[in-house]
Structure 1
Amino acid sequence: MTTGVVLPPLRQNLRLLPGAPDEDGAPRWLLFDTVRNKYFALSAEALYLIRHWQAGASAEGFLLELKTRGHDYGPEELAAFIDFVVSNNLNEARSAEASARVHQQYADQLLGFWRWLIHHYLFIRIPLFRPDPWLSRWTPRLNWLFAPVTHYLLLSLGGLGLVLVVRQWDHFWSTFLHFFSLEGLVFYGVTLVVVKSAHELGHAFAAKRQGCRVASMGVALLVMFPVLYTDTTDAWRLRSRAARLRIVTAGVRTELYLALLATFLWNLLPDGPLRSAAFFVATTSWVTSVLVNISPFLRFDGYYAFSDWLGIENLQQRAFAFGRWRLRDLFLGLKDPLPEPQPRGRARLMVAYAWATWLYRFFLFLGIALLVYHLFFKVLGILLFAVEVCWFIVLPIWREVKVWWKRRRECAMGTGRLLFWALVASVLIWSLLPLHVGVSVPAVLKAQSEQSLFVSEPAVIMEVAVKQGDVVEAGQLLVRLESEPLNFELQQVEEELQLARLLLDRSGSSVQEKAVRAITEQQYQRLLERKAGLLARQERLQLRAPFAGRITQIESLHPGVWVGTEMPLLSVVEPTRFDVEGYIGEQYLDLIGPGSLGVFIADRPGMAALPVQVSDVDIGAVFALPYGELSSEYGGPIAVRRVVDDRLVPEEGHYRVSMILDDISSLGDTDARLPGVVRVEGESRSWLWYQLRRVLAILIRESGF
């Protein structure tokens, strides 16, 4: 209704400019607010209202005059346009009432400190200077940078540089790892500032070449991390989509040119500071351009380029409306009209873009929440983490769920949707029910009695009496060895014994000779003890079976080979008694215990599963994994890291589980140790309750100060 409404006076500092055509090709104009450097798009109908605007005239009279000119506007259309003018402060406030309304608008826009912090701590702009005069002087001098010959020259050099890098990729990658340190991060930070400065200058020079005014340049705090920005709002006045795209993509193209040139120079420069600088510029430019700037899901260059390429302004807001419309139609059967008239193909594209952006934002905001938690001290980190998750993830979902609940009576549930929601309910019920959990325990099957035989001292093999797989008896000779130094020492002792016996046989009965005889007898006894020790050492060189069993893991031994004390020669295993030893992660520790049943599945094709029973679970995690075949270093399932003394330390807590075999009749011949996995039927547990407990445990752990 427009009864009693008077047209407000428009501000005199507004400018009317021709704009780019609408998405459907209809002509448009731009209303430029020079004070706020802001553009408003106007249709032909809105332009006609502006041209014939009569400040102070009544709305009814204005509509009648327009009708006499052949333009029939409804009262609702005029009221909506007046609201647009007043809400965007495009009118003059000549009366006390109008001034009060402007002041109230300003007061309503003011946020409290905490609301302001929630809305702005992720992105705060700080303008530093107005570069337009400087750009006006320098743009003509740098026209050669935008020449086609420069473009193709940089592409050629960069392509050659990439080919050369591929040919020495190992060296390039090792250089990257070399700079992955605190000092390298500092250099990368400095390089990032330089590259991003060039990025923003690319936007600024490109905008100036298109005749646009660059209002300001400055620093923006993105999650408290400083980044540069350039205000190219004036690009809205360009009617050519290609011209706007050149401004939007100028920053990315600048970074890519730097990356190509730096990659080429890295291959030519000798080792030194210049080559390191080229490496920093190349890697920084490639990473920031590919991973950040060209992403269409963030409101950076890639998003605006994608929006201009599609010819869809305010792409995200409009796509989100289509995404919500499609969700409500798909899951609830709400037959709402399209948010706006669009061809079917474009509507599907906007729905797909909205859903992809939501998925991307979910992981992005979750990552930012973790980032702000680790960047700040613990109390503030926890607070910002909670704000980030609740405000940007939970709250939007909650708002949409509230709409679904409010409109529940409008839902049209067909067979397909009923089946879908029945499936959702089934999954929810399944996650709540306490179900038996199958636990996979990496394990090894090993003999209870197993012994590797080593030589007691360096020796040479004289005879190998057994081969792989032979069955031996306890005490049976396996390998006979000799040590030449030991034989020589034994021969010397034997000669000294003969001399001592000879002296004892020739000794007389005088007092002096009896005294010498006592000393000789002592020497003789010491020589006998020394001979017995040497004979014992010689006996230890004869390797015998410690118990009845089978020979396994025998080395390639043959007579004449010297062996040392650290080399295992062979192993003997008792084939009648085996057990299983496994290692379980901490998250499954409460699911199994003594008496739990399972089966051992060996990493050997064709071998039958063996029933096992848990006999014991250690109360402390292992410090090192004793079986290398279970570690990730050798292709096993347990992630480990190798420490200085070559120990394999698990990345997460693992506990030793001892198991006994119920039946080994189907075991047959096997090695002393066989890796595999034990499937244990664990205790009943609700999956959802377990996840909630994990989250609660993490919160309790992180809340400790």
Structure 2
Amino acid sequence: MSTAMAIATAGSPRLPTLREELRLLPAAANRDGSPAWTVQDPLTNRFFRIGWLDFEVLLRWSLGSARDIADSVNEETTLSIDEDDVHELAGFLEQNSLVRADTAQAVDRLRDRAARMQTSPLQWLLHHYLFFRIPLVRPQVWLAGLLPYVDWVFSRTTAWALAALTLTGLVLAGRQWETFAGTVVEQLTWSGMLGYTVALVFAKALHEMGHALTATRYGVRVAHMGVALLVLFPMLYTDTGESWKLHRSRQRLAIASAGMVTELALAGLATLAWSLAPDGAVRNALFFLATTSWVLTLLVNASPFMRFDGYFILSDLLDLPNLHERSGALARTWMRRTLLGFDEPWPERLPGRGNAMLIAFALVTWAYRLTVFLGIALLVYHFAFKLLGLFLMAVELVWFIGRPVWAELCVWRERKGEIRRSRKRWAGALLAALLLVVLLPWQTGVRASGWVHAERQQVIHSPLAARLAVVPQEGAVTQGQPLFALQSPELALSAQRALSLADARARELIGLSGFADGEERRQQLQHQQDRYLAEASLFQGEQQRLQLVAPFAGVLTDLDPQLAGGVWVQPRQPLAILVDPSRWTVEAFVAEEDMARVRVGDAARVYLQTRSREALVGRVVEVDATRTTMLPHAMLDANKGGSIVVVPREGSAAAAGSASAAEHAPRDALYRVRIALDGRPASLRMALSEVVITGQAHAWLPGLLERLAVVLVRESGF
């Protein structure tokens, strides 16, 4: 680009001189079909997209004055511009340091700008601790040498083959889904975490190689590769910033999606190999590769709400560079116009519903980032030592969340004179209504998870290992009615043997008559006969225990469908449940902060977690004074489909690796509240439920502040 400066027209202000090293590159056409170009600053490796008007002005920059440039453009093109358009472009060039500092005023401006950009170490840390890069290698030479050997990877045949293998792997893994899901839980150990970490490093290395090789294939220079620290968590990165040189958006899209495609291919091949591999270390390694690649690619990299691959893919698909900045500017303008009534011009107008879509995208992005930043705040608090955790959490909440909100509120305050009175009245009314909602006690419902069961019920089980002879049918039974008849051949054989030995001793006693030493022998035989008779009585008594009868009248339910005549059952194995259908109760587990609002006699509504979503009413009859330390039934455990998160109890076998639900305690402080139901479930079966107790009314904001105060007091000790 020529940078010679002609003598300015007399009386016309002199335009600054363009830097000689700037490069002007063709770019893909804009969405409206108009031509576009890219200005590259090779010193900072930044790219600026310009349109037709800016291009024509830059071509005539050597004319030296805004008046001459505007006249030339108007005469030689169909455009119609004035001097203000030229000065606006000059301001843009100066703002981004694209012009030479060849005057004292320009040098002073650069010095002032450099002084404003100077930050203290603390400010630098606040800006960069969330994310900064450490370049490690300049890979362009060896990437170019490697490309011929891997060029087959980019063929259509390879793509179809990988798709077929991935689909086959997913089908095979689906047939072993229970094993696959169980492996996820089994690998949540320290050794498993190490395996996931190794798999993550390997998958991410291939991810970045996908970006780098694809960029090299399209002639884009990969300036450097290295490690980026995201909240002090290391991750690999590849600099493909020069992909904006490409004027075809399809090529930029290929570079942006290459990492995700590589990881998905790795996940598909690892899933197929896991499905075919035998149990062992190799299969575990394949499992780590499959899960980390699938999860991180789909949940993290594909998200367009952070500057990961999904963002650049969406930008290229929509052909909207700087998507976050442009959508954010539109959303701020929309809020100011809608909420405050500002007559503010739109930053840009996209065809069709483009503006509405970008505004919606910005609002979702803000909500997503708020969630992410809050999660990062909690993460750094829990994983750093307490003092550092509190500091980093404060940085997250104040710097990354509070500061942008405060900056926008400051704009509203400076322009409060533009707000119409009607908007102020509506805002005051809305604020008053909001204060009433958060300060007045109106919320009465106390929600809890519960377990619905008959007040009187008994699990029928076998006391001994035995064989079923008679299996009953589900339905109504009377007290004392035979239910299960079981047989134990060992007991019968032992009883028969004991009776035979007792009969033998009886015959010997008869044969002792007439012997001189018969009395002494008689006592010994009599003692043995009594012992064998006692053993026979014991075995016969055990056999009687195997004849299970109904201890009370009720309904027999939950009969094990695998039971049949001749089937062996284990000791204490549940066979069925006998319930008294006349009275039913609910054991609800209420959070500690809500216990003060629950009283005996409070009404409650119970929603069964069944297909019918049956609703029952009842009343609180008992409130525990101490927290629950053990779940009454395994169905409440979140690991088994319930809603209560549990942890192994200290000193229990579960803490050492046992899976017994009885040895797990609720993670949170929960208190049992027993509710007597006025009716009974239609199915007459135990079921999980959601309980809403009509407790004492409370205000939302005071309750929230109280809980925050409790947390602050609890966490304030070092």
Question: TM-score, normalised on structure 1?
Answer: 0.74
- Match in the other structure for 1:691: 704
- Match in the other structure for 1:127: 135
Q: 691, 702, 705: which one pairs with 2:715?
A: 702
Instruction: Say if 1:655 and 1:532 are closer, same or farther in 2 by CA, change over 3 A.
Output: same
Q: Verify the 8 A CA contact 2:604 2:675 in the aligned structure 1.
A: no
- Match in the other structure for 1:352: 360
By how many angstroms is 1:353 displaced? 1.8
DSSP-derived class of the 2:353 partner: helix
Q: 333, 341, 347: which one pairs with 1:339?
A: 347
Q: 593, 596, 611: which one pairs with 1:590?
A: 596
By how many angstroms is 1:122 displaced? 1.8
Q: Verify the 8 A CA contact 1:259 1:286 in the aligned structure 2.
A: yes
DSSP-derived class of the 1:344 partner: coil
- Match in the other structure for 1:617: 624
Q: Verify the 8 A CA contact 2:134 2:226 in the aligned structure 1.
A: yes
The 5 A counterparts of 1:73-472 are 76-94=84-102, 98-140=106-148, 142-146=150-154, 150-171=155-176, 174=179, 177=184, 179-263=187-271, 280-404=288-412, 406-407=414-415, 410-411=418-419, 426=433, 429-435=436-442, 436-439=444-447, 442=450, 469-470=477-478
By how many angstroms is 1:124 displaced? 0.8
- 1-structure distance, mates of 2:29, 2:659: 72
Q: Verify the 8 A CA contact 1:439 1:682 in the aligned structure 2.
A: no
By how many angstroms is 1:615 displaced? 4.5
Task: For 1:685, give the aligned amino acid.
Answer: H
- 2-structure distance, mates of 1:570, 1:22: 72
Q: Verify the 8 A CA contact 2:498 2:532 in the aligned structure 1.
A: no
Task: For 2:437, give the aligned amino acid.
Answer: W
Task: For 2:666, give the aligned amino acid.
Answer: E
Q: 672, 676, 684: which one pairs with 1:656?
A: 672
By how many angstroms is 1:117 displaced? 1.5
DSSP-derived class of the 1:212 partner: coil
Instruction: Say if 1:496 and 1:322 are closer, same or farther in 2 by CA, change over 3 A.
Output: same
The 5 A counterparts of 1:6-21 are 6-21=14-29
The 5 A counterparts of 1:668-679 are none
DSSP-derived class of the 1:338 partner: coil
DSSP-derived class of the 2:142 partner: helix
Task: For 2:629, give the aligned amino acid.
Answer: V
Instruction: Say if 1:685 and 1:668 are closer, same or farther in 2 by CA, change over 3 A.
Output: closer
Instruction: Say if 1:164 and 1:286 are closer, same or farther in 2 by CA, change over 3 A.
Output: closer
* Deviating more after overlay: 428-437 vs 670-679: 670-679
Instruction: Say if 1:413 and 1:274 are closer, same or farther in 2 by CA, change over 3 A.
Output: farther
- 2-structure distance, mates of 1:630, 1:686: 30
By how many angstroms is 1:424 displaced? 7.7
DSSP-derived class of the 1:582 partner: strand
- 1-structure distance, mates of 2:544, 2:212: 87
Q: Percent identity?
A: 32
Q: Verify the 8 A CA contact 1:581 1:658 in the aligned structure 2.
A: yes
- 2-structure distance, mates of 1:361, 1:166: 35
- 2-structure distance, mates of 1:286, 1:469: 54
DSSP-derived class of the 1:434 partner: coil
By how many angstroms is 1:288 displaced? 3.5
- 1-structure distance, mates of 2:261, 2:480: 77
- 2-structure distance, mates of 1:80, 1:571: 83
By how many angstroms is 1:377 displaced? 2.1
By how many angstroms is 1:50 displaced? 4.2
Instruction: Say if 1:538 and 1:422 are closer, same or farther in 2 by CA, change over 3 A.
Output: farther
Unaligned runs of 5+ in 1: 507-515
By how many angstroms is 1:164 displaced? 4.2
- 1-structure distance, mates of 2:260, 2:609: 52
Q: Verify the 8 A CA contact 1:615 1:659 in the aligned structure 2.
A: yes
By how many angstroms is 1:667 displaced? 8.6
- 2-structure distance, mates of 1:572, 1:422: 60
The 5 A counterparts of 1:598-617 are 612=619, 614-617=621-624
Instruction: Say if 1:611 and 1:386 are closer, same or farther in 2 by CA, change over 3 A.
Output: same
Q: Verify the 8 A CA contact 1:369 1:389 in the aligned structure 2.
A: yes
- 1-structure distance, mates of 2:242, 2:613: 74
- Match in the other structure for 1:40: 48
By how many angstroms is 1:317 displaced? 0.9
- 2-structure distance, mates of 1:692, 1:591: 17
- 1-structure distance, mates of 2:40, 2:115: 24
Instruction: Say if 1:315 and 1:200 are closer, same or farther in 2 by CA, change over 3 A.
Output: same
Q: Verify the 8 A CA contact 1:210 1:243 in the aligned structure 2.
A: yes
Instruction: Say if 1:533 and 1:623 are closer, same or farther in 2 by CA, change over 3 A.
Output: same
Once the two structures are superposed, residues 147-174 of structure 1 have per-residue CA deviations (whole angstroms, 9 ceiling, x without a partner) of xxx3323322431342244134354774
Q: Verify the 8 A CA contact 2:35 2:51 in the aligned structure 1.
A: yes
Task: For 2:319, give the aligned amino acid.
Answer: G
Figure out how many residues of one structure are paired with residues of the other and give that number: 677
DSSP-derived class of the 1:359 partner: helix
By how many angstroms is 1:387 displaced? 1.5
The 5 A counterparts of 1:481-500 are none
- 2-structure distance, mates of 1:408, 1:300: 38
Instruction: Say if 1:170 and 1:79 are closer, same or farther in 2 by CA, change over 3 A.
Output: same
- Match in the other structure for 1:510: none
By how many angstroms is 1:295 displaced? 2.5
